Every structure is written in C-alpha cells, then in structure tokens.
Structure 1
Amino acid sequence: MRAQFVLSEIWIGLRRNLTMTIAVITTVAISLALFGAGLLINQQVSEMRGYWGERVSLTVYLCNDTSPSAICQESGAASDEERQAIQSQLESMPEVAQVTFMTESEAWQDFQDRFSNSEALVEATEEGDIPANFRVQLQDPGDHDTVAGAVAEMPGVDSVSNDQEVLDQFFELLDGLKWAALVVAAVQLAAAALLIGNTIRLSAYSRRRETGIMRLVGASNFYIQLPFLLEGAIAGLIGGIFASGFIVATKFFLLDKVQDWFQFDVTLGMGSVFYVIGVSMILGVLLCTIASFLTLRRYLRV
C-alpha cells in the first residue's frame, strides 16, 4: 500500500512538472554524454601512450646524393666509415635498446608499406628519395634528446627525426579534446543540479497540502521526502540511459575512426565502454538525488 502511494506521488510530480522534468532529463543526458566522452577519450589516450611508449624511436637519416641540407651538400653522401662510426656510437649508449640499419631500398619499401593507403603519396616518392637510416629503439622515451644530441652533429648525419615529437602533438590534441568535453560536462552538470533543485522545489510547493496532511497523520520525514528523491533519481537514470547511446556512438564513430586514420591497433574494448556508461549513470542518479535532498531540506519543512 505504501509502495503504491509512493509511486502515485512520483507520477503526480512528474506529470505536474512535465516541462521542467524534460528539461532536466535533457540537460542531464547532454552533460553525462560529454562526461562519458571525456572518460572514453582519457582511457583511449592512456592506452595509446602505453602502446606507443614502448615503440617510440628515433630515426637517424644519413646523407645521400640528393640530401638538401648544407652539411650533406658540402660533405657528400655518408661513407661506410661514417656509417659504422654512427652505428658504434648508438650501440655504445646505455639509453639505446636496439639499432636497426635500413638501406635506401629498404627504407623506400618500408615507406610504401606504411603509407599503402595513400596512393598519391606513394606514387610521388621514388627510390632514393628516402635516405638510408638507423631506426633507434630507446630504453626510455624520455631519453630521445640525449641520443639525438649525441649523433646529430656527427659526419654523415643529415637529420634526426623524433617520433616522440609527433606523438606529443597528437596526444596534446586528444588531451585538449578530453578536457574540453570534461569542462563543458561540469558546466552542464551544474546546470542540471540547479534545474533538478528548481523542479523538486516546484513539485514540493504544488503538493504542500498533501505533505501537510501526511505530517498530521504521523508520516516520517523520510517517507514524505521519498517521492521527491525518487523523482530526481528517475530523471537522472533516464538522462543516463540517453547519454549511454551517445557514449557508444563516441566509441564507434570517433575513437574507432581515429584508429582507422592512423592505422594502429589500440582499440578500446566494450568493457571500457560499459564501465564508462555505468559510471555516468551512477553519477547522474547521485547528482539528481543529492540535488533533490538538498533542495528538500531548504524548501520542504518537515
């Protein structure tokens, strides 16, 4: 009997404040969707940092007959002695885990394999355009400046390319996207809390006669407050359900597309998606319930 009464009170509250309830659900859904997207991007960035942190490398390009740098044009193509000196220097450094030498033909073939999806770029590159080079795997990605500085000025070296610099720029972009989503989500969550508080306050005011009668018959404070708390919780739950669709879309239409564009396999599993959805829905329910409780303490004198 009491459960039926509570359910009827919830239904009355939702129906009387339908417009405000829809506004609350919409705001909660948007804020939780942005919050969940931020969490997903954060997990993706963490996975990618770990994946590429183990694979980051330096590429030491040697001078050849077509090198545009002034040093190479003055000294000519790197000799076998210069190449051996560079290799010995790299292999003697404790910061270096592995050194692999690639001839011009091997470097050109590797370039074709890496950019096989960009036909125009592959067709515009000929054998010899990419000089012979050393692929240097580091013990610690943070040592790239030390290793690069040790060989950059050696005879026969054209340039030193650092994968870490490219990755840092890419991660900065993703970090910016993550923080932008989280900041907007925080603003939206604050707006949702204010909306749910205002909705509950109006609901309590419109039912002040019913709550007065309940007090007269000896109903407890919690029993009187329960319908209003459940109204907020239901609004948060519905908003979380709508937000979950956006979170799934973020995974398949944003993060998976990034994987396709950059051709690396660090895909987030559905377990991560369900975790983010669960956290977002719990946050939505707690936010609306707490906002309702705080509002009731101020406007519902029981």
Structure 2
Amino acid sequence: MRVQLILSEALSGLRRNASMVVSVVLVTFVSLTFVGAAMLMQMQIGKMRDYWVDRAQVAVFMCREGAATTTCTGGVANQEQLDAVREKLESPALAGIVRDIRFEDREQAYQNLLELEPDYADLVTADQLNETYWVNLVDPSQTDVIAEAFGGMDGVEEVRDQMQYLEPLFSALTVATYIAVGIAVLMLVAAVLLIATTIRLSAFARRRELGIMRLVGASNRFIQTPFILEGVFAALLGSLLAGGAVVAGMYFGVDRYLRERVPFVTTWVGMQDAWIVIPLLVVIGALLAALSAGFAIRRWLRA
C-alpha cells in the first residue's frame, strides 16, 4: 500500500507538470545521445588503432638512383648492402623485435603502384622506385629501434613507419570525440538543472499537500521519494529514447551506409557495442536524475 501510494503520487506529479517533463525527456535524450555517440566513436578509434597497429609495417627503403641522402652517395644499393640489411634484421639482437620480413624489389613495387594508380604507368618507371624491406614488429611501439638501427646505414635511403600516416586521422577522430563529449556534458548540466527546476515547481504546486503530510507525521524520505521518482521516470524515458537513437544510428549510419562507402576501414563498431553502451546511458540518466531531484527536494523541504 505504501509503495502504491508513492507511485501514484509520482505519476500524479508527472501529469501535473507534463510540459516540464517533456522538456526533461528531450534534454536527457539529446544529451545522452551525444554521450552514446562519443562512447561509440572512442570504441571505433580503439578498434581501428588495434587493427592498423597490428598490421602497420616499418619500411626500410634502400637507395635508388638519384637519392640525395648521405647514405646513398654510392648510388643504387648494391647486393652487399642488401645482404647487410637482411642479416641485421635477422640477427639475434633484433630477434625479439622483428616478427617477419618481406623483401620487395623494384618490379614488384612498380606493379603494386600500378594496381593502386594505373595512371602512373606513363609517369614512373621501375628504376625510379626503391627496393624495400617491409618489417612487421612483435611490438609495434618499438619502431624507433628499427629507425635507429638502420637510419644511418650505407645503402638505406629512409626508414619509415606506416603509422605516421594514420596518426593524423586518429587525432582528428579523437578531437571529434572530445567535441561530442563537451556538448554532451553541457546538455547533461542543462538536464540536471531542468530536473531540479521541475521538482521544485512540482513541490510548490503541492505545498498544501506536503504541509498536511508533515502535520500527520510523514517522514522526509516518504515525502521526497515521489519527487525523486518523477525525475527518474522522465530521465529513464529520455535514456531509452537515446538508446533507440544509438541503435538506429548504428543500423542505418554504420551498417547500411559507412560500411559500404568507407572500404579502407575494415573493423567497425557493431550492435554488440551498442548493447554495451545503452545500459550505461540508462544508468547515467537515472543516477543524474535521482541525485539532482533528491538535492532539489531536500533543499525545498528545508526552506
């Protein structure tokens, strides 16, 4: 009976402040949608980084004709220099760092280039390209070891880490995540303030009832609970809508659009990631609503 009375009071308060409740739901929905988008974006960055870090290689470019570096004063790398680089890559000193090696001669490099850019057939010849050792590392973070070991070696024009081309992309995505988080935080602050205002208006509208409840000996907890539930119900509805938006964005935005149009990204967040995010959104919404509503009604009762 006591629980039924508390629930009926909470539902009555929601009906009396319908317009404010709708505002709370919408603000909570928008703010938590941004929170969910930021979470999924960070998951996507993590998946992409893990995928490419595992596959990114360090390229040891051997000297070609016309190379201007001091290690290429003798012209094109000769067989002795090629053998010296391979021997060093396969040496015990680098055994725990180098996972595997692939050598690419000029003709192979030329064919690979034409597969990517067929229009280069009349502009580039095989003699203009480098012979290259492509190196996969056990620990991709140790690229500096390879750069230091081969950077000044005769016959080596350049040592290049492929991850340097991807870092600007990861940085841009991280900035976008921070922007989404910033907007979400602002919207959450607005939702908290709106919930607190709604609870105070609801308490003011029922001030006579609250006075009677105090006179008959109702505890503060009994008086506060319906108001807290009002905020939690509104926030839960907004959280569920945000969860629906996350699922819709995942289905239509990622699965149906981005997967087909961004082929170079092979690992995307999926519905399993969305189902991890949605409970977090519900918990965040309910917790913020309960805290803001409880704080507001306690202050009003003390006033």
- Interval containing the TM-score (normalised by the shorter chain): 0.7 to 0.9
**CA–CA distance in structure 2, aligned partners of residues 259 and 166 of structure 1:** 23
Kept in 1, the 8 Å contact 2:103–2:133? The answer is: yes
Aligned to 1:277: 278
CA separation of 1:299/1:288 partners in 2, compared to 1, >3 Å: closer, same or farther? same
**How far 1:254 sits from its partner (Å)?**
5.6
Gaps of 5+ in 1: 116-120
**How far 1:244 sits from its partner (Å)?**
1.6
Kept in 1, the 8 Å contact 2:231–2:290? The answer is: yes
Q: Does 1:47 align with 2:43?
A: no
CA separation of 1:112/1:218 partners in 2, compared to 1, >3 Å: closer, same or farther? farther
Q: Does 1:76 align with 2:75?
A: yes
The counterpart of 1:101, out of the listed 90, 100, 103, is 103
**How far 1:290 sits from its partner (Å)?**
1.2
Q: Does 1:62 align with 2:62?
A: yes
Kept in 2, the 8 Å contact 1:83–1:156? The answer is: yes
Deviations 1:204-232 (A, max 9, x none): 01111122223334434333222211110
> How does 1:173-184 map onto structure 2 within 5 Å?
173-184=172-183
- Root-mean-square deviation (CA, aligned residues, Å) is 2.8
Identical columns (%): 35
After TM superposition, the structure 1 stretch with the greater mean CA deviation from structure 2, 262-271 or 53-62, is: 262-271
Aligned to 1:202: 201
Question: TM-score w.r.t. structure 2 length?
Answer: 0.85
Deviations 1:121-148 (A, max 9, x none): 4433556254321101122222212211
Aligned to 2:148: 149
**CA–CA distance in structure 2, aligned partners of residues 25 and 142 of structure 1:** 46
Q: Does 1:25 align with 2:21?
A: no
Which stretches of structure 1, 4 residues or longer, exceed 4 Å deviation after superposition?
A: 1-5, 70-74
Kept in 2, the 8 Å contact 1:101–1:133? The answer is: yes
**CA–CA distance in structure 1, aligned partners of residues 113 and 246 of structure 2:** 36
CA separation of 1:30/1:130 partners in 2, compared to 1, >3 Å: closer, same or farther? farther
**How far 1:41 sits from its partner (Å)?**
1.9
> How does 1:123-202 map onto structure 2 within 5 Å?
123-124=119-120, 128=126, 130-202=129-201
CA separation of 1:260/1:86 partners in 2, compared to 1, >3 Å: closer, same or farther? farther
CA separation of 1:262/1:169 partners in 2, compared to 1, >3 Å: closer, same or farther? farther
The alignment partner of 1:173 has SS state of helix
Kept in 1, the 8 Å contact 2:224–2:298? The answer is: no
The alignment partner of 2:76 has SS state of coil
**How far 1:175 sits from its partner (Å)?**
2.1
Gaps of 5+ in 2: none
Aligned to 1:289: 290
**CA–CA distance in structure 1, aligned partners of residues 138 and 265 of structure 2:** 21
Kept in 1, the 8 Å contact 2:62–2:156? The answer is: yes
**How far 1:36 sits from its partner (Å)?**
1.3
**CA–CA distance in structure 1, aligned partners of residues 194 and 135 of structure 2:** 57
Query: How many residues of Structure 1 are paired with residues of Structure 2 in the alignment?
Result: 295
**CA–CA distance in structure 1, aligned partners of residues 129 and 41 of structure 2:** 35
Question: TM-score w.r.t. structure 1 length?
Answer: 0.85
Deviations 1:10-48 (A, max 9, x none): 343223333322222222112211111221122222233
Kept in 2, the 8 Å contact 1:104–1:127? The answer is: no
Kept in 1, the 8 Å contact 2:20–2:198? The answer is: yes
Kept in 2, the 8 Å contact 1:40–1:251? The answer is: no
Which amino acid in the other structure matches residue 124 of structure 1?
Y
Kept in 2, the 8 Å contact 1:97–1:136? The answer is: yes
Which amino acid in the other structure matches residue 265 of structure 1?
T
The alignment partner of 2:81 has SS state of helix
**CA–CA distance in structure 2, aligned partners of residues 205 and 164 of structure 1:** 60
